[in-house]
Structure 1
């Protein structure tokens, strides 16, 4: 029975880097991956999808060329085969980089296969049994397919399969109005497809404040995307020419050529034999962890999407940083110290950090709020991209910034001014008196903070 100092199951954005750190410390490590190194981000998430977003934006800008005095004769045509191959090349470069990195690493054993627990310190993979005193789970998540009427009768797409399309849908119906679905909706509309977004809830991007959700819907509708919310009767039926998608709520069905199901993600924890190891999960299948990512079983940790404590590449990587700091560097870092930030990559993007207004109000604090339209931003006007707005929430008594949102051009970058200030625990007047560079998006941040008012 081969023994290791540590076994890492899953090669997403936590496991490989933690494995590499342990090997650098002289440990003998087995990294087990059932499919591809790099996890969702490299193979079916951030890297391929943001490459597709870039292609879609290029088409959008080209169509608007005349607005900038750039005349492009003829129509703007999209070669989806080239688009797909470009995204695939980005993925393969990243995946092969990981393969080559590990191949030259003494002390690292990479095993491709499906690992299952035999007991708390033993796993079986490809018929072999491996033991280690430390086991780290970084098994990620997969698209959730809800039980909707007729779903079994159609060929539907998920966020994993749609990136392999090399044809343009005639009419793409996107089921789910959250981050993944909205990115694909705008992307395929810009490629030239007719697109309809169907959301069960009353708002798109439901975790956001209502003003942000409404602005997102306005942006999508302005590009010709049909948006249906409060869809209480979603169902599907195969037709001669495609798929009939029922919406409910008194609305007429639509005829789609393709359906993308983007209704959330499910952790890949159901087939690991967690019961044999005694590892606890919550009702949704996420592995329960403490503030330092340890499970209820000594010697087993869970990192990344499978622990339900963050659903982003950067939070998964931060899980690695926390585990490595605590286990290898003698530090004491905690999940509860993390200030959550993320982005929605429609165009213009939404950058978000900390609490929403709704969350801040729920704490009972005395809060201050300020908003400014992107039309007040010089760069936005120069680029003729003035959709969206900025918003910041602060604690009226401590003067700490509680949260911020920038829905607008370069909002995913400009939000880092707030992220850095919040992590530094700097009161908002410190940032208010900064002197940012002109002309940038960030230059409006001091003005935004100067307009904070108690509500």
Structure 2
């Protein structure tokens, strides 16, 4: 059995930088990947979907030229083969860069295949069995598909990216982040889109006013929603079509007929194939590996990073996991998972940027909450751009003057949110940004103005 200084399982946004970091420190590292170098984000997540979002935006621009006095001849259409080819080329360039780096590094031994533990510190890949005192698990997650759809040719967030023809009618089961992004992009490409959601609102994690605002502008684009849908089932129809049966409390037919169905009801950790029982590593009831504030499992020398540890389901949290492990190990720091502030984006158009607590969370935690809010329709730059959907808001702790959370839903929201995030990381009072001077004309210049008017939030 070949022994290494470390074994890294999975080449996602934590595993890949960690393998190069350890190799640069003279460690002999075994690097295992069963499918795609670069992990979910690069191959089937952020990179491909955001290239599609960009193409969908071009379609929107072409169809709304007259709103800004630009006459664009009719006939614009989306060529999904070209959109896919552009996506594939971007991915391949990045994957090739990783592969070249591995090949040139004498301290990295690459194993292509699925990893299985055969002992606490023993891993088998194909016919090879290796061991190391330190093992880092970065196996990510995959789309979750509930029971009852085995006989239906459903799509997932992975397989839909391989389509080369635009679905005539795409039915999406799941009205949260993934479902909404794909729903809007394929509507803009030319599909009829119906989104089916069990709850009485979309993206139930968000505050009601945020969900309602997003629902409205997606409905205005022509996306159909079936909310409060219970007992959702699907079956094949003649000529390759699919029907979805729903028991809805809202008005609408009990059967929705379409050409394609996308399952977008969540993701699950890829820990079930590792044979973790052989290690004694603990997982929770959802299959996430339990870790402490330093990403350590209950077994000394074994760490879990990225989506598989349940501490965040984002590329930026996975990369931060890498930073925590690497800097604590090599730079003598004491970085912790609990030091980071929750932040994420929803990449519909206009996008939503969120940081910190929602209003519901802040109230439940017992804070004395003040709220600042401003509609995009009252912001000159948004009006000049012809993009007035959404709003910006911030929650303030009345006892400390610190920002508890913020939401920017509107043009540029995915970038603007960072300005509020930076104030929170600086642990500065909200007056720091309220009293700042911001360039005109921008969306951001209204953040200080917004913060001049705070309203107490009733519990």
TM-score after normalising by structure 1: 0.98
- In the alignment, is residue 189 of structure 1 matched against residue 187 of structure 2? yes
Superposed CA deviations along residues 109-165 of structure 1, whole A, max 9, x for unmatched, are 1111111111121111111111110000000000000124xx122100000000111
- In the alignment, is residue 55 of structure 1 matched against residue 58 of structure 2? no
Deviating above 4 A after TM superposition, structure 1's stretches of 4 or more consecutive aligned residues are none
Matched position secondary structure for 2:4 = coil
**Partner residue of 2:242?**
243
Distance 2:70 2:145 in 1: 44
**Partner residue of 1:342?**
344
129-138 or 75-84, which deviates more: 75-84
> 1:233 deviation in Å?
2.1
Alignment equivalent of 1:176, drawn from 167, 174, 177: 174
What are structure 2's unaligned runs of at least 5 residues? none
- In the alignment, is residue 287 of structure 1 matched against residue 285 of structure 2? no
Q: Map residues 393-404 of structure 1 onto 2, 5 A cutoff.
A: 393-404=395-406
Distance 1:128 1:83 in 2: 40
Q: Map residues 36-435 of structure 1 onto 2, 5 A cutoff.
A: 36-148=36-148, 151-241=149-239, 242-249=241-248, 251-252=252-253, 253-435=255-437
> 1:441 deviation in Å?
1.4
Matched position secondary structure for 1:213 = helix
- In the alignment, is residue 17 of structure 1 matched against residue 17 of structure 2? yes
**Partner residue of 2:451?**
449
Distance 2:357 2:68 in 1: 38
Superposed CA deviations along residues 379-406 of structure 1, whole A, max 9, x for unmatched, are 2111100000011101001011000000
Distance 1:344 1:182 in 2: 9
Distance 2:110 2:380 in 1: 51
Distance 1:219 1:275 in 2: 48
> 1:328 deviation in Å?
1.4
Q: Map residues 24-35 of structure 1 onto 2, 5 A cutoff.
A: 24-35=24-35
TM-score after normalising by structure 2: 0.97
> 1:434 deviation in Å?
0.7
Distance 1:451 1:138 in 2: 45
> 1:14 deviation in Å?
0.1
339-348 or 80-89, which deviates more: 80-89
- Measured on the aligned residues, the alpha-carbon RMSD in Å equals 0.9
Distance 2:261 2:123 in 1: 39
